[in-house]
Amino acid sequence: MLPRSVTGWTIAVFGAMAALFGVAGLVSPETTQASVGFDALGPDGRTFLAASSMASLNMGVYYLVAAATDWRPFFVFTVPFRLLTFTVFTTLVLIDVAPAGFLGVAIWEAVGALATGTALLIDARRRKAV
């Protein structure tokens, strides 16, 4: 069940990280709260953090399944949407709607999108060479 391409590996790494971040947020919400710069959370904030952590865990599993099955259309699909996520999160920080800690998430998304996009090009060149 290991990835069969460079792109698959970028997706697998992102998926594993997303799943681990999700589990961390469910097990230790205080750690996630501190890492993104949230002040003390009330019940609504804790509910939002739990829902976000569960979404991260689910997304991580989706990415791991895509990597294991070498689902190339999914790989391609992730690049523009991760860049969109980077843009939205960065904008939210710049207009003072989100804490500066969200820039870490934005950068993580951009680096992942660029890594996957580069890997897609590498894999395409390898296929042409064969």
pLDDT in tens, 56-94: 999 999 999 999 999 999 999 999 999 999 999 999 999
Please give the C-alpha separations between residue 20 and each of 11, 15, 39, 42, 119, in angstroms, as whole numbers: 14, 9, 23, 24, 23
Is the pTM higher than 0.75? The answer reads: yes
Query: Considering all CA atoms of the chain, what is the largest pairwise distance in Å, rounded to the nearest integer?
Result: 57
Mean pLDDT of the chain: 93
Give yes or no for a contact between 50 and 26, defined as CB atoms under 8 angstroms apart. Answer: yes
Task: Give the pLDDT of residue 10.
Answer: 97
Separation of alpha carbons 19 and 64, rounded Å: 9
Q: What is the mean pLDDT of residues 97-108?
A: 91
Chain-centre distance of CA 88, in angstroms? 14
Separation of alpha carbons 94 and 22, rounded Å: 25
Give yes or no for a contact between 64 and 15, defined as CB atoms under 8 angstroms apart. Answer: yes
Q: Pick the residue with more confidence: 42 or 81?
A: 81
* Model confidence band, residue 49 (pLDDT cutoffs 50, 70, 90): confident
Within 10 angstroms of residue 11's Cβ, the number of other Cβ atoms is: 28
Separation of alpha carbons 61 and 65, rounded Å: 6
* Model confidence band, residue 41 (pLDDT cutoffs 50, 70, 90): confident
